[in-house]
Chains A and B, each alone.
Chain A
Amino acid sequence: MPKSHICPSCLVELARIRAVPDPHYGLPVVVCPGCKTACVRTKHPDRVFWRSYHRTNIAIRLAIGKLLVTLISGLLLWAFVVWSEDVFVDFRGKIQIREAFTSLDINTALGAWGIVLFSFIMGYSIRLIYAHHRFWVPLVILLTAGTFFGTIDYTSSKLVELIALLGSFEAMTDSPSSSELLIRGKLVLLILIPILSGFFVVRLLKGSMKKSESKKFRRVLKKQRKRRAYEN
């Protein structure tokens, strides 16, 4: 039920009349149907302050939370690429997918299935939190975050090597060669398959999720109406 708004001239309740922004100042003006007096519908300062405070609070939390999830996903993507080098690439430097999944070595098999499962979950969650964007935007965000961490890793290892040269000590890092980087690129493409399937699952479930959301909304609304009717 709307909040009460009384016409200052004839005392008619105006709460049910829609306040249209006037063309001159953009104020929410309501014209009384009885006496034709125009009055502005202002919100209570207490309500306005706390509502804007809560909205800003939620917005900041959402932004920071999504940023963290994105960063963690980017870090995981990079970690999966590095990890999949051990799982999918054999000693000759060739990618062996089927062998990894059917390997008798429990660590290799678990690693392969783990990468697929977690990549799927990552894709699902990233698509879900960026549901307001087009399909390709979350993918670009995820790849950018992964590349960001990859670049940090690569640059820092190169920097350490440079510092080691300056300080004449032996660097403990092992920066990847160009062939290794090529293999990593191929592995990224492989990992993208479960990630994209996560994206598609979100798309498939989108309709049902919307339906359940609106159902929930209707249920809450019904409850509130019942309560109000009981109170009045």
Chain B
Amino acid sequence: MESENTTNDSSKQSLNSENNEQIRADRACIGCGFNLFGQPVIKEEHYNLAIARCPECGEVAAIQTYPTMSHWVNRFRAIIGAGWVVTLIAAIAINSLIIMGMSFGAVDIASEKLSEEIGFAHSRWVEAQSLAAIEEQKRVRDSMNPVESEPVVIESESSNTVEDPEVVTTDSALQNRVSGSVATTINGITTTVTTESDGSTTTSTSINGVQTSSLMGGSYRWTTISNNWIENELGPMLEQKGGLWANVNREFLIMMIPIAIVSMIAGIFWSVALLGSRRRVAIIIPILVSFLALVLVVSTSLSDSMMSYASEVARDHLTFIIGPIMVICAAIFGLLGVYIGRSVARFVVLVSLPPRSRVSLSILWTRDGLALPKPKNK
């Protein structure tokens, strides 16, 4: 029965193709991709549609419609759109991180002078604590009744050896009797006096078990600062030195040049990348980026650590002044970039591309209600 029906259908189709038209150009079969060139075009009986049958796979091609691949176009569009959104989100993060990094660079430069001051003041204070501890140990040894002293486990190579000739030379009786280490902790600074068998003594200081060093490479920046000193001594020291702003290294202003250039380029990028939105909406992105960078800078500075170097203490204090200055600078130039971005892009396209290729990027004009410039004759 089926074979009969098929025969009837084909005979009807052949009857319908009275004019015997053929495909005289390229048309791929939707089933197998075979070129239907030369195949007869007929009108099928049910709907009177023009069709051609593939000689290879027998697939019927509706001549007046597109093959059923159009939903893939929408899928591709969705994939590309999603990829673009992800790229933009990543670009926001990268832009924020760049501004954050540059702000930190500026804070680093600005805090050079203050960190030296802090390190130096702290070293003097540690020395005073150490001397007081030695005095205390001497007093205890004299009375042979230790109050605050306790035997210590700390036995490390001291990078900061302070010898007190007074102790060593005056207490010879004690030298002959005692050999070992005695530690005293005053204001969080542990001073360990080690007496060798030959009678010589070495003194080392530590904060929370970490050896202190006042000078590293001729700089006080990497001095370990105790929390006691930060709580009690830092404020008065800063007041004495004229406040934070007086101790800022003004060289940090140089960082404004790269941050301005980078932010303006980023602004131009955002202006072109956000063609779907108006300029007044597009300016939100540089503001958002700057805000994120500021949050990152501040939150990184607020993260507290048990041990801190002089440079870290100085950075923590100056971040709240220098960080916002740099971020505001980035925001201003980012906004400027957004404002001029599309004009710059239009100029670049106009100058660099021949008129035929400009058409693909005509959205740069049409989005702002402008007409694509007509080519001038040479």
Q: Is A210 an interface residue (CB 8 A)?
A: no
Assembly CA distance A60 to B250 (angstroms): 42
Taking A6-B63, A16-B24, A46-B72 as contacts, is the C-beta distance between A232 and B38 under 8 angstroms?
A: yes
Assembly CA distance A55 to B353 (angstroms): 12
| B360, A232: Cβ atoms closer than 8 Å | no
Taking A12-B21, A167-B250, A167-B251 as contacts, is the C-beta distance between A45 and B357 under 8 angstroms?
A: no
| B19, A11: Cβ atoms closer than 8 Å | yes
Q: Is B145 an interface residue (CB 8 A)?
A: no
Which B residues touch A166, using CB under 8 A?
250, 253
List which B330-378 residues lie within 8 A (CB) of chain A.
348-349, 351-355, 357-358, 360-361, 378
Identify A159's interface contact among B42, B73, B250, B257, CB under 8 A.
Answer: B257
Taking A56-B361, A63-B352, A167-B253 as contacts, is the C-beta distance between A8 and B73 under 8 angstroms?
A: no
| B41, A62: Cβ atoms closer than 8 Å | no
| B26, A8: Cβ atoms closer than 8 Å | no
Identify B357's interface contact among A8, A59, A137, A141, CB under 8 A.
Answer: A59
Q: Is A58 an interface residue (CB 8 A)?
A: yes
Q: Is A179 an interface residue (CB 8 A)?
A: no
Q: Is B77 an interface residue (CB 8 A)?
A: yes
Assembly CA distance A6 to B38 (angstroms): 13
Query: Residue of A at shortest CB range from B250?
Result: A167
Residue pairs across A and B with CB atoms within 8 Å: the count is 118
Which A residues touch B249, using CB under 8 A?
167
| B353, A62: Cβ atoms closer than 8 Å | yes
Assembly CA distance A80 to B59 (angstroms): 68
Query: Residue of B at shortest CB range from A2?
Result: B25
Assembly CA distance A8 to B63 (angstroms): 8
Which A residues touch B253, using CB under 8 A?
163, 166-167
CB distance from A148 to the nearest CB of B (A): 12
| A46, B19: Cβ atoms closer than 8 Å | no
Identify A46's interface contact among B24, B35, B70, B257, CB under 8 A.
Answer: B70
| A163, B64: Cβ atoms closer than 8 Å | no
Which A residues touch B25, using CB under 8 A?
1-5, 13, 15-16
Taking A13-B24, A163-B254 as contacts, is the C-beta distance between A8 and B64 under 8 angstroms?
A: yes
Number of interface residues of B (CB under 8 A): 46
Taking A2-B25, A5-B25, A141-B351 as contacts, is the C-beta distance between A169 and B251 under 8 angstroms?
A: yes
Assembly CA distance A168 to B246 (angstroms): 12
Which A residues touch B24, using CB under 8 A?
4, 13, 15-16
- Mark each residue of chain A from 95 to 110: 1 if its CB lies under 8 Å from any CB of chain B, else 0: 0000000000000000
Which A residues touch B22, using CB under 8 A?
13
Assembly CA distance A141 to B352 (angstroms): 10
CB distance from B266 to the nearest CB of A (A): 16
Q: Is A92 an interface residue (CB 8 A)?
A: no
CB distance from A38 to the nearest CB of B (A): 14
| B23, A6: Cβ atoms closer than 8 Å | yes
Q: Is B47 an interface residue (CB 8 A)?
A: no
CB distance from A189 to the nearest CB of B (A): 24
| B73, A46: Cβ atoms closer than 8 Å | yes
Which A residues touch B349, using CB under 8 A?
59, 63
| B348, A63: Cβ atoms closer than 8 Å | yes
| B50, A11: Cβ atoms closer than 8 Å | yes
| A6, B41: Cβ atoms closer than 8 Å | yes
Assembly CA distance A231 to B249 (angstroms): 78
| A160, B254: Cβ atoms closer than 8 Å | yes
CB distance from B191 to the nearest CB of A (A): 38
CB distance from B194 to the nearest CB of A (A): 44
Assembly CA distance A15 to B37 (angstroms): 12
Q: Is A44 an interface residue (CB 8 A)?
A: yes
Q: Is B27 an interface residue (CB 8 A)?
A: yes
Which B residues touch A168, using CB under 8 A?
250
- Mark each residue of chain B from 4 to 30: 1 if its CB lies under 8 Å from any CB of chain A, else 0: 000000000000010101111111000
CB distance from B88 to the nearest CB of A (A): 16
| A56, B360: Cβ atoms closer than 8 Å | yes
Taking A44-B66, A49-B77, A167-B251 as contacts, is the C-beta distance between A11 and B352 under 8 angstroms?
A: no
List which B74-118 residues lie within 8 A (CB) of chain A.
76-77, 80
Q: List 19 A-B contacts (CB under 8 A).
A: A1-B26, A2-B25, A10-B19, A11-B19, A11-B21, A13-B21, A13-B24, A16-B24, A44-B66, A45-B73, A46-B73, A49-B76, A55-B360, A59-B349, A66-B353, A130-B352, A156-B257, A163-B250, A166-B250
Which 9 pairs of residues, A with B, have the shortest CB-CB distance? Answer: A167-B250, A15-B25, A13-B24, A4-B27, A66-B352, A132-B354, A4-B25, A11-B21, A59-B360
With A59-B357, A59-B360, A141-B351 already in contact, 13 other A-B pairs whose C-beta atoms are closer than 8 Å: A3-B26, A4-B23, A6-B23, A11-B63, A13-B25, A58-B357, A58-B360, A59-B353, A63-B361, A67-B352, A167-B253, A169-B251, A232-B38
